[in-house]
Structures are given as structure tokens and as C-alpha cells.
Amino acid sequence: MVAAVAANCVIGVDIGGTKMAVGVVDESLGVLHRIQQASDGEDATELLDRLTAMVDEAIEAAPGEVLGVGFGVAGILDAKTGMIAASPHLPLVGVPFEALMGERLGVPVAVDNDGNTSMLAEWLHGAAKGASDAVMLTVGTGIGGGIVANGELVRGSSGGGAEFGHMVVDQDGERCSCGGVGHYEWYASGDAIGRAGQLAAVEHPDSALAEAAAAGREITGSLVTEFGHDGDAASVEAIVKVGQRLGQGMVSIANIFNPQLIVVGGGAIAAGDLLLDPAREIVEREALASLGTNVSVVPAQFGADAGVIGAAVLALEQPAAA
């Protein structure tokens, strides 16, 4: 067998609300080189400058020809204009992102919402491979999402779908980071696990959570998850509560889309079946008869590199890069 030389690759860029990750990705989706920086507290020009520098560094580090650069952005894209129409965490609203980055980088550029890029990667290469109908939920700070229906990725009329995190689940509920009221992500995200953990720490003064809070540690979703895996009952209770809320949203999703799979990714999936089992129970019990039993709720295949790999798959799927 002849050793592969200078394999083609793409650059995947994950632009989240708090961090930017850039990776050199080969055609079998191996991440060869990673660069990561914080993305907070900057204006658009500064952010674009830093992104350009990171991607240039990645192109330098690539072992072969770079076919294109894919960006998964935590924001709502307008597919017609290539503009970022809304983003609660990034100073990029109204920026013609695709055109600007294409000009700066001099290679084919593709941009999509990070929920859609995650769905694309899981559908073409991961947990939803071969499914005709699937829904992705990326459960982290908020909840992002993507939809595959009838064998196609569905982005809506202007490319802004699928923002499952902003489904209204309680019209008298809490105010969401987007300004709306009672949205799904308030109750069922990774941040929601942190909030449920803070309540559980107060209700269970003998728990590991209460001890950590008393010692001044911040009760975050990941800390609650860590304690939950260690068997702290208060932490498990907090995760179960959020898992049930996650499941309630999935009941609507199952009833509307009748998917074969609901794939759950994002940071909160670190909780594993502690989070998914309560969700599965609710879906099976509460979705309309056959719709609840026909759907499987599964963890995403791509873990910590999911954002970068999703963006890379987007670049690989571009006709210009083929």
C-alpha cells in the first residue's frame, strides 16, 4: 500500500458565543490541528481580524491543499444575503460575513448556523447516518438545532431555521436571552442544569452540591454533571428534572416531524443517560401513539470536536470545494 501524501483537507471553524475553534480536517474527518481562542468582548472588525489570523495559521499548518473553509456560527443566517441576521452573543449582526471572509481568505467559504452544521455532520457521517427524517438538538448554553426531513436538510425560507431553543413552552415563563418569554432553552439547556443544581443545593443542604456552593464554587451545568456521575443524589435530581423538560420539547418535535431519530449533542450531553433516559421516558409516554415509540433519542457521535467537524463537513459539501 502506498502511503498517502499531502491529503486534501478543509478548515472547520466553530464560532460560539464564548469561544472560537478552528481545525484542519482531512477527508475522513480526522482533526489534524486545532486552534482555540475566546470570542467575547470584541467588535466586528477585531473579531474578523482574529478569525482571519486563526484560519491563515490553520491553512499554513495544513498538510495538503485546503479545499475550502466552513464556518458554523452561533447566530441566525440569512442565506440569500450571506449576512448574519441575529446573534445574541456575537458582534456580527448585519455583517456580510460570507463575502468578507471569502475576500479575506481567498479560498471557497461556506457559512451556516452551528445547529445546521452539526445536523449535517451527524446525518452524513454520524449518529443519524442513513436517516430520512431526523432532528438535532445541540444542548449547551442554549439549545440549537437542525432538521432533516424527507432526506433533506431543512433551513426554512431565508435560512434561519431551526431554532428549537426558542420554541415557546411557557407563555408565563422566564425571559430568554433572545428577549422572548418562556423559551425551551431556559428550561432544558446545559445552563438549565446549572440553575436546577443551584436550587437542589439549597433544598439538599447535605449534598455535595451544597458543600461546593458553601465553599464558593460556582454551580454550573458541568459541575452538576460531574457530581451526578459521582452519584450525588441532589445532582442526579437536578439533571433528571432538566431531562424531563428536554423530553417535553421532544414530544412536540416527535409529534410534528415524526423523525426516526432525535440526536442530542452539545456540552450537556456529557450527562449521558442521566439526561437522556428521563427525556426518553417522557417521549414514549406523552408523544402521540406511534410517534413516540418510532423515535429514538440518541447521543451525537461527534463529541468535543463537533463544532469544528460540522463546519468542515459543510465545506466538504460545497460544490466549489468538490
Q: Is 124 in the site for Zn ion (CB under 5 A)?
A: no
Q: In whole angstroms, how close is the CB of 199 to Zn ion at the nearest point? A: 21
- Name the one range near Zn ion by CB under 5 A: 122-130, 160-168, 227-235, 250-258: 160-168
**Backbone φ, ψ for residue 153 (5° rounding):** -75, 130
- CA dist., res. 10 & res. 89, Å (int): 26
Q: How many CB atoms lie within 10 A of CB 301?
A: 16
- Name the one range near Zn ion by CB under 5 A: 38-46, 163-171, 192-200, 255-263: 163-171
- Name the one range near Zn ion by CB under 5 A: 12-20, 48-56, 158-166, 280-288: 158-166
Q: Is 188 in the site for Zn ion (CB under 5 A)?
A: no
- Name the one range near Zn ion by CB under 5 A: 20-28, 169-177, 224-232, 307-315: 169-177
Q: Is 156 in the site for Zn ion (CB under 5 A)?
A: no
Q: Is 170 in the site for Zn ion (CB under 5 A)?
A: no
C-alpha cell at 238: 437536578
Q: Which single residue is written with the C-alpha cell 441532589? A: 234
Q: Is 131 in the site for Zn ion (CB under 5 A)?
A: no
- Name the one range near Zn ion by CB under 5 A: 144-152, 178-186, 197-205, 226-234: 178-186
Q: Is 180 in the site for Zn ion (CB under 5 A)?
A: yes
- Strands 109-113, 66-73: pairing is parallel
Q: Is 178 in the site for Zn ion (CB under 5 A)?
A: yes
Q: In whole angstroms, how close is the CB of 176 to Zn ion at the nearest point? A: 3
**Backbone φ, ψ for residue 297 (5° rounding):** -100, 115
Total residues in contact with Zn ion, by rule CB under 5 A: 5
- Name the one range near Zn ion by CB under 5 A: 77-85, 166-174, 218-226, 280-288: 166-174
C-alpha cell at 320: 466549489
Q: In whole angstroms, how close is the CB of 166 to Zn ion at the nearest point? A: 4
Q: Is 183 in the site for Zn ion (CB under 5 A)?
A: yes
Q: Which is nearer to Zn ion, 112 or 163 (CB)?
A: 163
**Backbone φ, ψ for residue 181 (5° rounding):** -120, 135
Q: Is 181 in the site for Zn ion (CB under 5 A)?
A: no
3-state secondary structure of 2: coil
Q: In whole angstroms, how close is the CB of 134 to Zn ion at the nearest point? A: 23
Q: How many CB atoms lie within 10 A of CB 165?
A: 25
- CA dist., res. 109 & res. 94, Å (int): 18
Residue with CB nearest Zn ion?
176
- CA dist., res. 306 & res. 36, Å (int): 14
Q: What's at 308, amino acid-wise?
A: V
| Residues 234-293 close enough to bind Zn ion by CB under 5 A | none
Q: Is 176 in the site for Zn ion (CB under 5 A)?
A: yes
- CA dist., res. 272 & res. 225, Å (int): 9
**Of 40, 247, 227, which Cα lies nearest the Cα of 141?**
40
Q: Which is nearer to Zn ion, 13 or 176 (CB)?
A: 176
What sign has the CA pseudo-torsion 25, 28, 29, 32?
Answer: negative
Q: What's at 122, amino acid-wise?
A: E
Q: Which parts of this chain interact with Zn ion (CB under 5 A)?
A: 166, 176, 178, 180, 183
